[in-house]
Amino acid sequence: MIVPTSPYHPSRTYRYHRPQPYANDPQVCAKPTGDIMVVDTGGGKCSTITDRAWHVLSNTNHSSLMSGYQSGHEQVLSVVNAVTKAYIEGRDEPVLFVMHYVTLVVDENEKESLHVPFQSMRHGIKFDLTPKIHGGKCNITIEQEEFPIKFDGEKIFFNIEKPTQEELDRYDCYELTSEAEMSKIWEQRVRRKSKKTTHEGIPLAEWRQRLALAPADIVEKTLENTTQHYMTVDCENRTNMRQHYQSRFQGLKLPRLKEGVATDTFFPSEKTSMGHTCSQFFVGTDTDRWYVQPLKKESHNSTALQDFSRNVGLPLFVKSDCAQSEIGEKWTEHCRDHCIGMLTSEPGHPWQDPAEKRIGTLGNMVIANMRETGMPMQYHNWMQLWCVDVHNVLSSKNLGYQNPLCYSTGYTTDISKFRFYPWEPIWYYIPSAKAPHDNLKKARWRILLATRLLITSGLKRNLGKDATRS
């Protein structure tokens, strides 16, 4: 018996489904002649738009690497936020479609923009991409509004056109993609090589050599439980090497905290003797550890952040309100250099910033102690510092009756240094006094711990060890 090599057999009955022609079908439109936006499921991760049909709203300062577009070589194209005017079937007026983080192609001859539907799906927009002639709806749904998509037998698309400035203010506007798409865009670095931030790509054998030939399983666990943020540094990833003068590992040279901090600026009603008009306040979100720095100007609070990082440590993040000085260039630059996250509370919602309530508590402590001790009003900056030091060593019920300083550092706090209270009359020793002159003089205690700064006869003095007594 001869076995046929083809699945076709003459004794079998076959049913053939012949394709139906699209000609003269009302559900299929004519081929477009103008600018269109094609809904393309194979368009990659990022939608592509044309310069001739879209109005650019802003540049994101990012770029995208595109290959295969009318040339064999790769091109670096700008990533922008843009808007276009779309004509929708069944609507008397066109609508505006806004897209964030899309690749811009500048070509006067290109009429097709490619919209990746998955980019919109992440924004909550629903798609039915089956043409009506095949039993689908062929539309998109934005906030329960349906927008029919045209089908010409080859593709589904919207007719679009570049809007004028007058039309931008006139027609209804809909967002097709989210502003949160920034994380999906990879910036193309032309001048420098891409950086390695993890251990991936480096053989385990090389890591063993770097880690004193430790066992392979120990090296793997070490890599899992550590970070490698500086595998390459700026001075090493340049084509032309150059000498560096700053720290190569700025994010590692200062101690790091295991918590974030909240911060805010407050403005006392009195100017201090040193010209301070405001203070920058920091509080640990987990340990409730306080830090305050009096300032002469609000614009100096970036310096306070640097001093906090140097004296206390680098936090995981800094949460502030939307004050320009707390999200400005110097503030942001310090956070970027030292890998500190930046969070902000919503405008008009001060209770979202934990520092707000703590500032009120600090103010009450300052008022009570200024009244009790009789310290002159122009020295309230020293009272702020003293109250913060006291708070950090007081046991807290929320911390299991540990104090914030111990909870933050892990060391048992010693409070032997709290020998005096602010503005307490004390005696201080004058080592240069010659007999028979008295070598003790009266003074007022002003601050504690780091330096013993007191005032006597209108003069400020820094005292050494064992130079004071009650």
pTM: predicted TM-score of the whole model, two decimal places: 0.50
| Pair 421, 373: CB distance under 8 Å | yes
**Residue 137 domain-assigned (yes or no):** yes
> How far is the C-alpha of 121 from the C-alpha of 128, rounded, in Å?
11
* DSSP classification of residue 117: H
DSSP 362-421: HHHHHHHHHHHH---GGGHHHHHHHHHHHHHHS-BGGGTTB-HHHHHHSS----TT----
| pLDDT at residue 401 in the model | 85
Q: Are residues 123 and 45 in the same domain?
A: yes
> Does residue 4 belong to any structural domain of this protein?
no
C-alpha dihedral (251, 256, 257, 259), degrees to nearest 10? 30
What pLDDT is stored for residue 208 in this prediction? 77
pLDDT at 393: 87
Structure tokens at 229: 């943020």
Residues 167 and 195 in one domain: no
| Residue 71 CA, distance from chain mean position | 37
d(CA 247, CA 306): 15
Asked if the structure places residue 126 within a domain, the reply is yes
- The last residue of one of the domains, among 164, 184, 204, is 184
* 355 and 433 assigned to the same domain: no
The two tokens of residue 39 are 């809904």
Q: What is the pLDDT of residue 317?
A: 93
pLDDT, position 13: 57
Report if residue 250 sits inside a domain: no
Structural domain total, the chain: 4
pLDDT of residue 103: 87
Residues 342 and 435 reside in one and the same domain = no
Q: Residue 451 sits in which domain range? A: 425-469
- Asked whether residue 203 falls in the same domain as residue 266, the answer is no
Q: Please report which helix (H) or strand (E) contains residue 443, including its range.
A: strand 440-445
Are 78 and 203 in a shared domain? no
Same domain, 107 and 167: yes
203 in the same domain as 172: no
Strand, helix or coil at 92? coil
Whether residues 211 and 180 share a domain: the answer is no
Q: Is 271 inside a domain boundary?
A: yes
Distance CA 245, CA 249 (A): 12
For residues 56-84, one letter each, b for 16 or more C-beta atoms within 10 angstroms of the residue's C-beta and e for the rest, the string is eeeebeebbebeeeeeeeebebbbbbbbb
pLDDT at 201: 66
Q: Print pLDDT tens along the chain (470 aa).
A: 444 455 555 555 555 555 555 656 666 777 888 899 998 877 667 788 898 999 988 887 677 766 655 444 556 778 888 999 999 888 888 999 998 888 888 888 888 888 888 888 887 888 888 888 888 888 899 888 889 998 888 888 999 999 998 888 888 888 888 776 554 444 333 333 443 434 556 788 877 777 777 788 877 877 777 777 766 666 656 666 666 666 666 666 677 888 999 999 999 999 999 999 999 999 999 999 999 999 999 989 999 999 999 999 999 999 999 888 888 899 999 998 888 999 998 888 888 889 999 999 999 999 998 998 899 999 999 999 988 988 888 988 888 888 898 888 888 888 877 777 888 888 877 888 888 888 888 888 776 543 444 544 444 455 544 466 66
369 to 269, 353, 375, 451: CA distances (angstroms): 17, 26, 8, 20
Per-residue pLDDT, 186: 41
Taking the C-alpha atoms of residue 167 and residue 169, their distance in angstroms, rounded to an integer, is: 5
Contact yes or no for 340/364 (Cβ under 8 A): no
Which distant-in-sequence residues (6+ apart) come within 8 Å of 34 by Cβ?
111, 159, 161
Q: Do 163 and 147 belong to one domain?
A: yes
* 300 is a domain residue: yes
pLDDT for res 242: 65
Q: What is the CATH number of the domain that holds 369?
A: 3.30.420.10
* 436: preceding bond cis by omega (within 30 degrees): yes
CA 220, distance to chain mean position in Å, is 30
List beta partners, residue 290: 283
Query: Is the domain of 61 the same as that of 152?
Result: yes
Examine the domain organization and report whether 99 and 118 are in the same domain: yes
For residue 306, being part of any structural domain is answered with: yes
Bridge pairing between strands 290-295 and 317-320: unpaired
Tell me which of 184, 208, 226 is where a domain ends.
184
Please give the pLDDT value at position 187. Answer: 39
Q: Which residue from 181, 174, 170, 179 is spatially nearest to 158, judged by alpha carbons?
A: 174
370 Cβ partners below 8 Å, 6+ apart? 377, 380, 383
Evaluate whether 287 touches 274 at the Cβ level (below 8 Å): no
Measured torsion, CA atoms of residues 151, 152, 158, 160, in degrees rounded to the nearest 10? -170
Say if 252 falls within a structural domain.
no
HEC string for 204-262: HHHHHHHCCCCCHHHHHHHHHCCCCCCCCCCCCCCCCCCCCCCCCCCCCCCCECCCCEE
